[in-house]
Structure 1
Amino acid sequence: MARLGAGGMGIVYLARTAAGELVALKVIRSEHAGDPHFRARFQREARLAAHLRSPWVVRVTDADTESRAPWLATAFVAGPTLAETVATLGPLPARSVLVLGRRIAEALTDLHTTGLLHRDIKPTNILLDRSGPRLIDFGIAWGPATTTLTTPDAVLGTPGYLPPEQVHGDSAGPASDVFALGCVLVHAATGRAPFGTGNPAVVLYRTVHEEPDLDGLARLPDPARATIVRCLAKDPAQRPGTAELRDALHRTGALTRPGPRPSRTGEPPGSRPPLPDPRLPLAHLPSPAPPQADGADGADDWLPPGVLRLIAAHAARALDPPPRADPPAHEEGGPRETAEGSGEPEKGPEAPDSTRRRFLAVGGTATAVLATGVIGAALALRRGPGDGPPTRTIALHGTDTEEQRGAELAVNAHNSRSGIRFRLALTALDDRGRPAGTEAAARRLIADQAVCAVLGPASGTAVRAAGPLYAAARMPMVLVSSTVGELPPGSPQPDDPSTTCVTRIGDELLGMPLAYYLTGTRPSRRTAVIEDEAGGTVATELAAGFRDQPPVGGTATLHPVAAHDDIRPAVAQALAGRPQAVVYAGTSPERAAACARALAAARFTGARLTIGPVMRPAFLTAAGAAAEDWVFASPYTEPASMTTEGARAFTAAYRARHGTAPGPWAAEAYDAVNLVARALEALGGGSRATRGRIVDQLFRTTLDGVAKPVRFLTGQDHSFDPTHTAFLFQARHDRFEFLGRYDRLKPVRRGPVRH
């Protein structure tokens, strides 16, 4: 019925049994299914998991470990993950955290008693339901005395939730799961991972050597807080057992149980409240019977109304699966990636697949009910004015004037076309340039169900703050002028693909157009690179690129300078090699200007080059006359100076609306909106185009835009294809003059270089 996710071990699908029960069907990848050792371990996992009886672990309903494509089916829980919930609504109330911790501790007690360790407890592996949380994903679960389900040198688990002993390579035990649960509870209570996010290696270092960030945990009662803090002890022996953790949270939870809610709709006090939004298709339907509980912690009303609304929305979307495409024929059963990347399971020709097919059957009657009920209701809520096409809203995270103007032109151009299947709307939200404002803006946009994609934020700092929130909520985040940098949004794992769609070349790759210039436009057989360590990894990557692949197959010398040192000695050392070109590998306009002045003082007349972050008025001011003729590789274009038909039309429309030429990033934002529109068009434009599906479609979409071609490389990280997407400018007469796309420049003739 639909693809729910994928990991290193297999692909998970939403399926329906012959009896009509929704299940999550995990099908093992063919490269693992052919490994007899892996198959034996998978059989053991399925057998042990089938004996789990905790109501807080998703129930294994069936499995076929002998099939050519082994599979395991578990009960489907339509609720959101804890990660999405916190990203959308912020930290959970204290009492919700206590119930969450107690229930997952109960689940772990059952898991460990059975002989399994989970080993990947994290917010994305916990689903929330009205009756309680559910622990999912046993993809890397294994017993303490068994071999792992992955390669011998792999690190099992997720940085930020991985205990120190596993980082060191020591064996895991029940205390390892307790550590991860402690991290999860801190995340639920504070909205932040206790060891931060970002570069996985940095997060692992913090986990081993630094204390956790517990700011905000004080709102929990003292006994519970103290027990959760013990879960994060570096020494496994100092952590509480799962039973001790369960009992501590239970005692505290009983003391904090709220009294009956006042009746507002005539229901008896203390009864389950109705779902707050009756317009949702499933809001009036009864939920599945909750697991039997002792009721001591009042788990029947353990979640606040906002989370109940989110659960109802997920339940509605679960009954709106995408139409199944006909998969290509293949000699082997099991899931296959189609040209569109749908990854639908295919039917194999042999009998063993018959057990799998019984889970993939969807009755025609059920399909008809869905089409006329849920889908029809969803479309009715999204209709535009009158009987026109539905309206899909794109949000601009931030208030960059040029990006907003470019996006507005794209929206207007789309809506003016005849025969469109959907209209576009644009909304903008100011994050006030502060991390707290960025997170608040992201949560508002995530909570607005009308928003199908976000453009921005426009700064790296804002991306680092908002990225994990958007990733957890599966909100498409289309970056126009900023990049991800060192942060993988939400530290995405193979089963948690990034929702970040970068549409520009990274600064660290801008050495490529500079090398192209020094090869075809102004050849340099001897190139000197001033590596300014103040530029961080960008400077390091630029310098390494020239060192490994010098222009024209010549030589390149590197001359590093410490972040706070005078740059002039490095320039003098570089000139001693009589280079034909000097490249400033750094990001500081002021330090680049110091380099320019030093070269001018030495009367150097060769090519002088650097990258976009330096191309600021501050460089022209600080360098003065020494700035003349410097060449810059830029990730954005100047459409008013381009000669293509699309650029001319865009510039004319921009001038007509604003009375001036478009500035940096206007054309790129125009292209970004058109990229989203093209993805929506491929999905039909209606309610089927959910946020998650838009994310997947974006990376399969190509666009020959006004500014540049937009394409993505195949692979797990969906990297932007930087080919033909950079532009060159040159400092002339106290301004930056557009030269053109780097691969379209003609050779220039220059006299011999003076040193």
Structure 2
Amino acid sequence: MSEPLRPADPSRIAGFRLLRRLGAGGMGVVYLGRADDGTLAAVKVIRGESAGDAAFRARFAREAELARRVTNRWVVPVLGADAEAAEPWLATAFVPGPSLVEAVAEHGPLPSATARSLGRLLAEALAELHAAGLVHRDVKPGNVLLALDGPRLIDFGVARAEGDTALTATGMVVGSPGFLSPEQARGEPATAASDVFSLGGVLAYALTGRPPFGSGAPEALLYRTVHDEPELDGIEEDSRALVARCLSKDPADRPTAEDLRHLPAGDDPDGTAELPDAVARMIAARSAEGLALPEIEPTAVDGSAAPTANGGEPQDAADRRPSRRRLLLAGGALLLAAGGAGAAVLATRDDDNKPGPDRTVYVLGVHASTSAPLFSRAGERAARLAVAQHNATAGRAYDLEVRVLKDEGSAPSAQDVAGRFTADRDVIAVLGPVTELPMRTAAKVYGQAGLTHVSSTTGQQDYFLTSPKASFQTGMAHIALGGWIAMHALLTDQLGRLGVVLDRSGGTTVQDQAGLLVKQWRDSLGAQVVPRVVAEESGDGPDAVRALLAEGVTAFAYLGPLNATVAAANQLAAAGFDGPRWMQHLLYGTDFPRRAGAAGEGWYVVNATADPAALTGKAAREFTAAWRARYGQAPEPYAAEAYDSVRMMLGEFARTVPSRRGARPARAALGERMAAATYQGIDRMYLFGDYHHFDVEGEDWMNSTYAHEVRDGRFRQLGSLADLQGTGTAQG
């Protein structure tokens, strides 16, 4: 949550003694401060060029003035501000809870009742804001803090009086892409209805764990916000209708904040729904951290000390500080007010994270992503299982904990996650990132810090250039998988006149695959192939499918994103096409079978991801049994490869731990061992090539490459390519 003060940090800002750093950015630093009466505050201090910008100071003064005008319980109150100081500052009451982003990223979506309660209370705050003639303009998950008694809305840095455009340039987009309204995305003035749209995005995020318009470049998010419908799959019907109304493109079709604040409170007498236990634990832990802060000695000469009554030397600082007992009593009352949950939170912790009395505890990081929940869930669960097994080993020399941080699918967020892991010296290795863009950005950060990380789901293989010693991949190369479609067709006697759609909306992964598939099908197998390319975001997929059907193709491969592939399945089914059909490998494990319905039956996906429950080997049976015992279900897609990756890292890490008690293992040692290691996993032998990518020898790749078919509404593993080669029969 925080880090110690640095030598150059001040010890005091006006009436607040600074205790810790809460965060830093391009404009300045946010500190945890304490007033003389013991009140904790978040003190935002502006530095750098912004402090010398008169226009910025005017906006900063407005932020403080506007925030003071809102006194709603669910808005964090302003405790003080000075826009004229050498370094402008603003202090608000400190809320020890996590932001909604942190809570959802670490523990998943909120229950429906909790999310609806969250929305109702935030609507109450917005209703009062709007009644005062103000618009927040940046309602997003990162600006919602969670406390045991309800949420708090923060950050009025871009708020304004409705109709006030004096400090906003014409056509300027203000707010956070992905959550701002269509009218804001077009550069039009924001209104109270714009805040309601953003609130709908916050609710969608709370209920699904993902932004309603996806992630990616700001330009793409703005385009989707204006032109596309939000992705609301996974939200229960009653909540979905409410969220959809808030996210209406037309501001006139949205409910008002006043409407939303009067939503039924449900069965909760105080109108608030209980937070999940894991989130309550986060809040309690941060509250406890606030109470356990040591007294801080000044880190710089403090010229603001109060003089004595007779004009002599300042009174002793200890005399002016609130007593430890007073702070502890105040904090105890806060926790007790939360009921039994708070006490239970402090008294219990996950079995995986329970350290031994005399053992060192090391941390395994999991770098997941809100943009890839399937990969992230499998990786987190695999890591927790592997760590639990380690911690159950008698006579072990140390314990392990799992810490999960999630990026948003973007380069900056991935860099932030990698920076947080590398800054923590207790973190000894990281599983992830799980997707290509975060991997590209984070690999450099991990490499510079010498922190070994392994991705089991990325397949572009040029990360070695920026991280030659710390980055490893246990997933197969994406580009190879296009050729494996051709191999599957050959082994199952399904070669024919192939129509291939390269839908560029699927990104560079499918672009690489399509080229190799066409080459292999035509040049290596001597069969006919008719390719079609669909420009990104053009919506021309149906035209491409129609053109290929007119060409008389007898086999079909649609390499593109999920939505477009589902549409192609329906189009082919409507046309009566019954030839073999393949999708790109990253759609394995998605809800394609459900969304495509009967039209999806018979579609193939070929990848290097095993369904361990369908394997007969001893290792697969033991892994499946352990997974079922822990999670109550069969292992999900991508779980086995993530588990193997973690076990391989932990096995090599054990060989780097010094025998001398208290000595810290050198981070670089793990990377050196991994580069030369071999590991027998659940279904394959892992070893790394010259570029730290998963390497295969001879025909071993066929043993760990699987064909899956959509059958009876789910993906079913048909066998490895080696299995199909051995039988020599079609599996359809």
* TM-score using structure 1 length: 0.48
* TM-score using structure 2 length: 0.49
